Structure formats: C-alpha cells, structure tokens
Amino acid sequence: MAKNFLDLHNARSAEAKARVKARVQRALAEMPIQELQQARHLSQEQLANILFMEPATLSQLERGTDIYISTLRSYIEAMGGKLDIIANFPDGEVRIKLFTDIKEMHSNSDTVSVA
C-alpha cells in the first residue's frame, strides 16, 4: 500500500526535517535563471509582458550565456526582486556596488566604495 508523502515527512526526526529544509533552500538560492520565473509562479508570457518583450525574445535571454547586467536587473525586478552582485573571496564576500550614486563618486574622487 502506498504511503502519503506528508505522513512520511511528518515521521522524520526534527534533524532530518532541518536537513531537507536546508537542501531546499540551497537549491532555491542557486537556481538557474531559466527556472527562476517558474519558481516565482510567473508564466513566460506574463514576464514577457512585464518586460515589454516578445516571449521568444525572453526565451533567448533565459537560454543565453552572456547577458548585460542592466538586462538581468530588469528581469529580476520584473519578478519583484532586487539584483545584488557579490564577489566571493577565500576570506569573505564583497557586495559590488556597480551603480553607486554618481554624485557620491565625484565628491569622494580618491575613494571607491565596495561593501
């Protein structure tokens, strides 16, 4: 006799449930761009309409291997997100502020802000 998944899940230990939850979070955090819109419960047509482009153009963008950061930012924002770029180094992470305020950059011409 087949068992209900929820019954099997509920029978797991708290530690096993925590491991499963962590694995799911890692998978969601490292999702390829072409799967992101599905995970956000948006059809390709809905997202294309938000971005004012044809679904075929959106499909090419999702399958592409080289994309402008501004295009990626628009794609992410169309789904309600915010694009952050983080450089990973052996001694830590640095959040890249690519588009800092131009006035701020000129007023501090001898310092560059990355944090």
pLDDT category, 1, cuts 50, 70, 90?
low
First-last CA distance in the chain: 56
Q: Residue 94: which H helix or E strand, with range? A: strand 92-96
pLDDT tens figures, 53-102: 888 888 888 877 788 888 888 888 998 989 888 888 888 888 888 654 44
User: CA–CA separation, 47 vs 49, rounded Å?
Assistant: 5
Tell me how far CA of residue 98 lies from CA of 42, 76, 114, in angstroms: 28, 16, 9
Segments making up each domain of the chain, as ranges = 1-30
Question: What is the DSSP secondary-structure string of 49-64?
Answer: HHTTS-HHHHHHHHH-
